[in-house]
Chains A and B, each alone.
Chain A
Amino acid sequence: MSTTYYTEEHEWLRVEGDVATVGITNHAQEQLGDLVFVDLPAPGNSVEQGDDVVVVESVKAASDVYAPASGEILEVNESLGGDASLVNSGAEGDGWLYKMKLSKPAELDQLMDKAAYDASIA
């Protein structure tokens, strides 16, 4: 059983226990356009909520992706190294960015559910 949270910075987290899978929303990838490179963090790194941990590069520009919660990076999506456009085709699925172990699960309370996020971009 998992719960998905959303942030104002257009990230999503799918949380199972104390592990979260993190990505950018479909809305975000539409705004960014065709991605050509994703600069991912090193597993083992500890991050604080709000740190810039990932850089997504479109043809035109580089954009920071912030950590939606604090914790330790467990794993990154290695498929993106070969094909960054997975984020365009499956932002909220195969195009996930990394998995993290949450150190402050209470931070999730500040985040939005899908209905609130959809309303925020409407």
Chain B
Amino acid sequence: MGAFAGYSMPLFYPLGVMKEHLHTRESAGLFDISHMLHVELQGPEAAQLIERLCPYSASSQELGSSRYTFFLTEDAGIVDDLIITRLGQNRFLVVANAGCAEKDVIHMQSVANGFDAGVTVLPRGFVALQGPSAEAVLEDCGLLVSDLPFMSGMEPKTGWFVSRSGYTGEDGFEIAMPESDCDAFARKLLGDERVELIGLGARDSLRLEAGLSLYGQDLDDTISPHEAGLIWAVPKPLRIGGAYIGSNVLAQKIDTGRSRMRVGLSPEGKMPVRAGAELQNEAGEVIGTVTSGGFGPTLERGVALGLVTVSAADEPTFADVRGKKIPMQRMKLPFVPHNYKR
């Protein structure tokens, strides 16, 4: 068991991290993600509220489509990263990180004061089914998801929400339901021999191989989307300004250029390089830090995300692990190609 966002959660189940990871890439893995925050924003000005909270155009968001975005500070640091799905003309679902739940709700409520829109926290069970067999498993369980495009969501019945999305780089779904339905639904999925339970350890190694950031490690309120390599999530017209909090500073930062950037790295040899390890150039000068790192079971080598000084990013890079200088190879992100069903 491990502590995560105030919850005690299994790091791995009897299969073990390695097999859980590989099983998810080959078949289907079931993740309990009930700790995540679900909030419905509803009302005549719900879209305008989101356009104040996040750097994207919620008014033109298509019904049923999901959008990866963030809340920003006035200084364009990331308060949290999240996914917002448009459920109706005046109704949006926000799914955000458990570790940020408290501050996110306070933030949304305080900004919502200026709008004709409500903020409702939804207590829900929430699971992810990820991997190439996920679609077939859900169809066999009676959830008709084959026509659902990647990054979109629907409500199959009252109190339920299904989106085609995830945190592994594989095709997959995230399914929210009333808490009272969750145990039976999870057991039904586990009854399918293609499905295995996956713990936090493999959740981390899967998302790391997929090059996906983890809030609190790779992202925080001192890092801008530009530095984090996430500027793709901000539509071009909003990179020069907009109604959202942090727009002026983000536009300035984009104009002057970033000093730090996100890179993918892999250590030479077998020793994993973990979060917090210092990154250095050949002369031993500090050029950044590893923000996430570990072993990638699919790649069969170490993988790491680093935040480094832009001017040094293309030089030979070394990680300091217990006083040893480990040569780091620059890798393209994602480490393992995404297998999304577009």
B270→A59 contact, CB < 8 A? no
CB neighbours of A36 from chain B (8 A): 270, 272, 295
Q: How many A residues face the partner with a CB closer than 8 A? A: 14
Contacting residues of chain B (235-276) with chain A, CB-CB under 8 angstroms: 270-272, 274
Given A55-B322, A59-B205, A34-B11 contact (CB < 8 Å):
no
Chain A positions 46 through 90: 1 when the CB is less than 8 Å from some CB of chain B, otherwise 0: 000000000101111110000000000000000001001000000
B16 to A34, Cβ gap below 8 A?
Answer: yes
Chain B CB within 8 A of A44 CB: no
How many A-B pairs with Cβ below 8 Å?
Answer: 47
A37 proximal to B (CB < 8 A): yes
Q: Which of B16, B204, B270 contacts A33 (CB 8 A)?
A: B16
In Å, the complex CA distance between A34 and B272 comes to 13
Assembly CA distance A36 to B204 (angstroms): 15
Which residues from A are CB-within-8-Å of B204?
60
| Contact indicator B270/A58 (Cβ below 8 Å) | no
- B: number of interface residues (CB 8 Å): 20
Q: How far is the CA of A15 from the CA of B204 in the complex (A)?
A: 40
The 6 closest A-B pairs by CB, nearest first: A60-B201, A34-B18, A59-B17, A36-B295, A59-B295, A37-B270
Q: How far is the CB of A8 from chain B (nearest CB, A)?
A: 20
Q: Which of B5-45 contact A (CB under 8 A)?
A: 11-12, 16-19, 21
Q: Report A-chain residues with C-beta under 8 Å of the C-beta of B18.
A: 34, 59
B271 to A60, Cβ gap below 8 A?
no
Residues 5-62 of A contacting B (Cβ, < 8 Å): 33-34, 36-37, 39, 55, 57-62
- Please give, as numbers and ranges, the residues of chain B lying within 8 Å of A33 by CB-CB distance: 11-12, 16-17, 201
Partner of A60, one of B17, B19, B270, B322: B17
Contact of B205 among A37, A60, A81 (CB under 8 A): A60
A11–B295 Cα distance when bound, in Å, is 24
Query: Which residue on A lies nearest to B272, using beta carbons?
Result: A57
Q: How far is the CB of A51 from chain B (nearest CB, A)?
A: 13
When chains A and B are docked, how far (Å) is the Cα of A36 from the Cα of B16? Answer: 12
What are 29 sample pairs from A and B whose C-beta atoms fall under 8 A apart?
Answer: A33-B11, A33-B16, A33-B17, A33-B201, A34-B18, A34-B19, A36-B270, A36-B272, A37-B272, A37-B295, A55-B322, A57-B272, A57-B295, A58-B201, A59-B17, A59-B18, A59-B21, A59-B201, A59-B202, A59-B205, A59-B295, A60-B11, A60-B17, A60-B201, A60-B205, A60-B294, A61-B274, A62-B272, A62-B274
